[in-house]
Amino acid sequence: MARVLVIDDEARSRKMLTSALLGARFDVLDAADGRTGLSLARKHAVDLIVCDVAMPECDGYWVLDSVRRDDALGGTPLVMIAPGDDRAAQRKAMNLGADDCLTLPLAPEELVAAVNARLSRMARLKSGATSGVPQAAAPSAPTQDGTQRLPTTTSLPAGLSAEAREATVLFADIRNFNAIAEKLSTEELTQLLQKFFVAACEPISAQGGRVVKFLGHGLMALFEGEPGGLAHARRAVNAAAGLQKAGETFRRWVEVRFGDRGLPQFAVCSGVDSGEIVSTTIGLGPRSEHSVFGEPVSIASLLESATRDLGCGILASRATLHAAGAGVKAGTVHKVQVMGRPVPLEAAEVLGAEAAEMTISGSIELPQDLRLALEVNCEITSRTTKSALLANRRSETADAAGGASAAPLSSPGAKPVPQPVDLASVRLPIKGYRVVGKLGQGGMSVVYLVEREADGLQLALKLLDARGAESSGLLERFIQEFEVLSSIIHPNVAAIYDQGVTDEGLFILMEYFERGDLKRRVRKGMTPQQATAVMLQAASGLREVHERGVIHRDMKPENLLLRSDRSLAVADFGIAKAGAGGHVASTVVGALMGTPHYVSPEQIKGRPADARSDLYSLGVIFFEALTGHRPYQADQVDQLLWQHVNEKPPELPRELAAFQPIVMRLMAKDPSERYQAAGELLSDLRKVA
């Protein structure tokens, strides 16, 4: 029985990993931090290590580097787990010498497949035996270290198939994408991405490859087998050369369509590597999902990234060029440093390949599932890229104006502590109040804690600089915040006391919440009773708001505020908007309204939001309050939004099963399958309270 060591600082995640491995009949040790894990690895004979990247103090990279430097442990297979579909984290892990790098969210079956594949490969390398390999399988070309890699079928649980085999991976990306995005609208950027990806699929398909996934403004393709007697490595190189031609053709379309925008020259860069990959299919039938991982995935991604610094269009590893055979025109050979390995990776520029001329029509018929994935990826990438660029500009503007960084209105989940302020410098727009301190500041607004002189009542005063607000829509949204809240008097909705417009800007005088917001309390996890009590109050506030025809559109723990008596109120309607029948249209075309961790699928897609959108966000909060972690987690915003659109919510722990139907209904992807009104939710919550 193989012994696997699991290192993860989060107890729930560590339990999931160990349970999956125990269920697959592995002997499992576990550790809550890197230093303890390394000590266990040295004390016990472990066959493989599974390690989380993101840990405090001695993180996964420290563990990986320490293992590779240790004479006794140096050859131990190590599978890293990175936070989200983060290519940068994958590259760093592989560069330090990881055998594989999986990304969250991670299915237990995928972990088992990766561990089985690594252990099988290690057993073959140690024994030189070929047991378990089909007799018809032929050995592959030797790798750079002279070893032979053979396809292996791995025994896995029902519902999952996995196979380790030789293949070639191609990563392609658009060079200077952010510079292009700066000068296009969200709709124009979506159109550009969609048109390019369709064109990019043609040379890949023509060479017998398949697109595994779209990754923001790039894609990953896989080439296997030898159809027509042409090796997969050669076909991948041909496809990379075809992508260069597609880029040149597409460049002319960009020049005609956006010739007056001053865009940088459109170009495509690609990285190609060959070797052993593990291909898994999780689930059955229409719900099955395909995934590919292994060293060639990370190396191809690394080479694609290196093309930017080296100024070339295609980089192919020596293993790929060896397997591709004659007919590939190679240029300068580069040594790409891979940390943790004694010998740099050798890769050459590909200048051309002797292949049939490929035409790019831009009208290729794509399978329905691939076209859907393409469209969703393009929409999400465009919106998140533009949102990030806008946020950067606002940050730069704020820094240039006074060097003050944006600060939240209060410490997350704690009692707000007023910051020291020069009282003489603050000009209040209303009489009868004195400034106690500053609660927070952003690029366009500042919030002060003030005290009413007549009776000592403390309130929060929000001021907005109106200069330039008309053009950006901020003025309209600021006024909406007052119009929405002032019309509602309810114990679970934040109260507004006054508002106005002055020569210097706008102000709102609102209720001050002594105990801060719910963020930290939610992240710590609550008892089921506490979480249900929070939901009852939040749903009650939303019911009142929705009955007035108002949608919040940015429900999150930071907008659930606590009074000294521990009652809760929904607050911060800065992007709310009243609409006929409770529906709203986006106030800024193409802009993402809402917070990525809590936003509903329809908001991500740019569709109208309604009361059910707020209930979806409330479902995310409920899941987080019950478990202490969010249902979807990723470092890259586009991957996080993709999960909201496509992935069903994770199962709650067994002891919380009574709440699973409520969470599933709240977070249904189709709004018609959710609670249709907050009153329906309240009825179900009272049954489990």
The token pair that represents 40 in the structure block:
């266990």
Residue range(s) in the chain whose domain bears CATH number 3.30.70.1230: 146-353+367-393
Indicate the DSSP class of residue 493. B
pLDDT of residue 413: 46
| List of residues 6+ apart from 508 with CB closer than 8 A | 461, 462, 478, 481, 482, 496, 498, 499
What is the strand order of the sheet 505-511 is part of? 433-441, 445-452, 458-465, 505-511, 496-501
The token pair that represents 535 in the structure block:
């939901």
Sign of CA dihedral 198, 199, 205, 210: negative
Model pLDDT for residues 218-246, shown as the tens digit of each residue: 899 999 988 777 899 999 999 999 999 88
CATH number of 1-131: 3.40.50.2300
Q: How many CB atoms lie within 10 A of CB 574?
A: 19
The CA distance from 662 to 641, in Å, is 22
Could you tell me which of 7, 109, 133, 111 has the C-alpha nearest to residue 59? 7
Phi-psi group of 296: left, alpha or beta (phi > 0 → left; psi -120 to 50 → alpha; rest → beta): alpha
Using only C-alpha atoms, what is the Rg of the chain? 28
Q: How many CB atoms lie within 10 A of CB 273?
A: 31
Indicate the DSSP class of residue 517. B
Residues in the chain with pLDDT < 50?
Answer: 129-161, 282-288, 340, 356, 394-395, 397-414, 468-472, 575-593
The CA distance from 568 to 128, in Å, is 66
Indicate the DSSP class of residue 592. -
pLDDT of residue 357: 54
Could you tell me which of 440, 336, 348 has the C-alpha nearest to residue 398? 440
Calculate helix-pair angle for 232-257, 186-206, nearest 10 degrees: 150
The CA distance from 393 to 390, in Å, is 5
Question: CB of 371 within 8 A of CB of 382?
Answer: no
Could you tell me which of 271, 274, 244 has the C-alpha nearest to residue 355? 244
| List of residues 6+ apart from 255 with CB closer than 8 A | none
pLDDT of residue 444: 63
Residue range(s) in the chain whose domain bears CATH number 3.40.50.2300: 1-131
Phi-psi group of 308: left, alpha or beta (phi > 0 → left; psi -120 to 50 → alpha; rest → beta): alpha
Q: How many CB atoms lie within 10 A of CB 30?
A: 19
CATH number of 146-353+367-393: 3.30.70.1230
pLDDT of residue 1: 74
Collapsed DSSP state (helix, strand, coil) of residue 209: coil
Residue range(s) in the chain whose domain bears CATH number 1.10.510.10: 423-688
The CA distance from 190 to 192, in Å, is 5
| List of residues 6+ apart from 521 with CB closer than 8 A | 413, 557, 625
Q: Which CATH superfamily is domain 423-688 in?
A: Transferase(Phosphotransferase) domain 1 (1.10.510.10)
